[in-house]
Amino acid sequence: MIQPAVSGAAVAALESDEGDRRSGWRQLLTHQITGPLAALVVAIVIFSVTTDTFLSAGNWSLIAQQSVVVGTLALGQTLIILTAGIDLANGAIMVLGSVVIGKVALEGSPLLALLLGLLVCVAVGALNGALVSAGGLPPFIVTLGVLTAVTAGARLFTQSQSYPISNGLLTVLGDGPTVGGFTITYGVMLWVGLTVVLGYALSQTAWGTRVYAVGDNPGAASLSGIKVKRILFGVYIVAAVVYAFAAWQALGRTPTADPSGYSTSNLDSITAVVIGGTSLFGGRGGVYGTLVGALIVVVLQNGLTQAGIDSLYQQVATGVLVVVAVGIDRIVRRRQSR
Amino acid sequence: MSEDRTPVLQARGLTKHYGHVVAMDDCDFDLQAGEILAVIGDNGAGKSTLIKSLTGAVVPDSGSLYLSGEETSFRSPLDARRAGVETVYQELGVAPALDISQNLYLGREQRRPGIMGTVFRQLDKRAMRHGSAAQMADLGIRIQSIRQKVETLSGGQRQAVAVARVAAWATRVVIMDEPTAALGVRETRQVLDLIRRVRDNGLPVVLISHNMPDVFAVADRIHIHRLGRRVALVESSSLTMDDAVAVMTGARSPETLTQVRVPDPVGHRTNLVDATTTPGEAQ
């Protein structure tokens, strides 16, 4: 325990956010979420002015639903990137989860199917986590290998067939109440809910602080008595649970369990994380930024479509945005570490 | 410093072999309450093996360790930490993206009382900020706000955060391994001041350093290490820097120094420094 042993005045001065308040504006400007949020607002304003259809409730329902699967995958990706790792296999894990759910639901109960889907996702996540933490292998290589194997595994398991999903429980995340023309699906609610839960875990619990510390300086974390490997392993497990939720959402979005679907969702999720301001070097960022980042990607695609611009240019725009986001991160880091 | 007080941390006959290499050869160590003890020695003298066995990072092949007179052994750094022995390392000490308060409590975070803490595992950030601010003020470390990220601090301030962290949690001994090696002149002076304040606040400090002016500026006593063992334990006021370097490098025999008499732990062995000292000179 740290015992306060000095007069209150000096302590209170340090404790107060006086220092922060003086530079309140600067803090706001340099906060990680400010940049992505500003970019999102600018994009929304531009598309609202230049197109008639962009701001409609129907279109926003679509944007939310288009964001939900990649957005959820990106939440798990955020945790892993915060530890200075990367997960190339997240889309493949989700697809494996969804085909397991689809195939089991053909004969078994839908609840059992969901549980088995979760179990499979967690098992693959545990494999990634074990290879990265206990094995000490680079996450890029581990998840690249797992991506390849799991993608093939999902096709072998289904004999490259896709399963139609008819059960209500399995597609429920595609439903939801409509308010003033804007449909909020349960999947969107789940996405936002997961963001809030993970945001709380990262910012309000010791576990969260340790995740940041492990990504920021594993040596210091270890010397502080943090079990670095256990934190790393745990992060891959939690991410896998999030991927399982994404699998369920994917079935709600398109009621087919397709082993060859979502083949670029791993890179899309990384895009969302990076645009959301989380540093690929680890230790900086958060899930709220990722939520905004996922929206930016979809808003950009959606808006450019509304404006009648070729979809290839949309991809160019997204690519430029990723490089700009990483460039900004690099500059910020270099200035701060000086 | 009265000589009959029980040393806070004491070692007798520590030995460590790595294959055929003898890293520590029947090494003794004595740290008294309220002192800054500098450990000096040439490269390869085995200083770091000694320090690692005092911090639990290395388990000696043989020998005994005593904490306040009671025999103990550290199997891991965690053991040492639990016993109240904390270490500041030259680097790696802090997480730059976290703020000062988070760094001070890293690995020992405090949760809120009640259901928010037990069920929802919520951190008590306010209490941790208060504790951190108190600790920083206590040690006279100047910073703007406890919420500053460590990366916004200078090298000296960062090291100060590392020292404050260790001093906050150590209950018996603070060990500092080359804490000023990476710092400039002014920052070094600040850290040396800090080391004195840690001692004045009641924790004995073991300072490992290559820098003789630093050692002579702050140390009360000096442990001179050579060829895997302590060859001399002297009051720092009783010798010159040249003497210390001469003994450290073997150019001068330690018997020519006025050594400190050390108490015997529990009848394990008798005065060890006397064994290397001619009877007339021991004091």
What pLDDT, on the 0 to 100 scale, is given for residue B274?
45
Could you say which of A4, A17, A213 has the minimum Cβ distance to residue B147?
A17
**Contact at CB, A1 and B131, closer than 8 angstroms:** yes
For A141-172, write each residue's pLDDT tens digit: 999 999 999 999 999 999 999 999 988 899 99
Q: Which CATH architecture has domain B9-84+170-275?
A: 3-Layer(aba) Sandwich (3.40)
What pLDDT, on the 0 to 100 scale, is given for residue B282?
38
**Angstroms from B268 CA to nearest CA on chain A:** 33
What pLDDT, on the 0 to 100 scale, is given for residue A30?
64
Structure ipTM: 0.85
Residues in chain B where the model's pLDDT stays below 50: 1-3, 270-272, 274-283
What pLDDT, on the 0 to 100 scale, is given for residue A143?
97
What pLDDT, on the 0 to 100 scale, is given for residue A318?
86
DSSP states of A224-240: TT--HHHHHHHHHHHHH
The 3-class SS string of chain B reads CCCCCCCCEEEEEEEEEECCEEEEEEEEEEECCCCEEEEEECCCCCHHHHHHHHHCCCCCCEEEEEECCEEECCCCHHHHHHCCEEEECCCCCCCCCCEHHHHHCCCCCCECCCHHHHCCCCECHHHHHHHHHHHHHHCCCCCCCCCCEHHHCCHHHHHHHHHHHHHHHCCCEEEEECCCCCCCHHHHHHHHHHHHHHHHCCCCEEEECCCHHHHHHHCCEEEEEECCEEEEEEEHHHCCHHHHHHHHHCCCCHHHCCCCCCCCCCCCCCCHHHHCCCCCCCC
* List of chain A residues whose C-beta atoms are within 8 Å of the C-beta of residue B109: 206, 209
Average pLDDT over residues A187-193: 97
What pLDDT, on the 0 to 100 scale, is given for residue B267?
52
Q: Is the pLDDT of residue A5 over 60?
A: no
Tokens (6 digits) for B14: 């520590």
What pLDDT, on the 0 to 100 scale, is given for residue A34?
84
What pLDDT, on the 0 to 100 scale, is given for residue B270?
46
Average pLDDT over residues A25-43: 79
Rounded to whole angstroms, the Cα distance separating B174 from B131 reads 19
pTM of the model: 0.88
Domain residues of chain A, as ranges?
67-263+278-287
| Nearest of A268, A231, A308 to residue A88 by alpha carbon | A268
Residue A325's pLDDT band, with cuts at 50, 70 and 90, is confident
Residue A21's pLDDT band, with cuts at 50, 70 and 90, is very low
Residue A336's pLDDT band, with cuts at 50, 70 and 90, is low
Q: Is the pLDDT of residue A3 over 60?
A: no
Mean pLDDT of chain A, nearest integer: 90
Among chain B residues, CA nearest to A231: B107
Of the residues B98, B101, B198, the best mutation for testing chain A's interface (the one with the most A CB atoms within 10 Å of its CB) is B98
Query: Where exactly does CATH 3.40.50.300 map onto chain B?
Result: 9-84+170-275
| 162-181 of B, contacting A, C-beta below 8 A | 168-169
Could you say which of A2, A17, A204 has the minimum Cβ distance to residue B145?
A17
Average pLDDT over residues A37-41: 90
**Contact at CB, B98 and A206, closer than 8 angstroms:** no
What pLDDT, on the 0 to 100 scale, is given for residue B265?
66
Rounded to whole angstroms, the Cα distance separating A228 from A211 reads 9
Average pLDDT over residues A97-109: 94
For A210-246, write each residue's pLDDT tens digit: 999 999 999 999 888 899 999 999 999 999 999 999 9
Rounded to whole angstroms, the Cα distance separating A74 from A277 reads 12
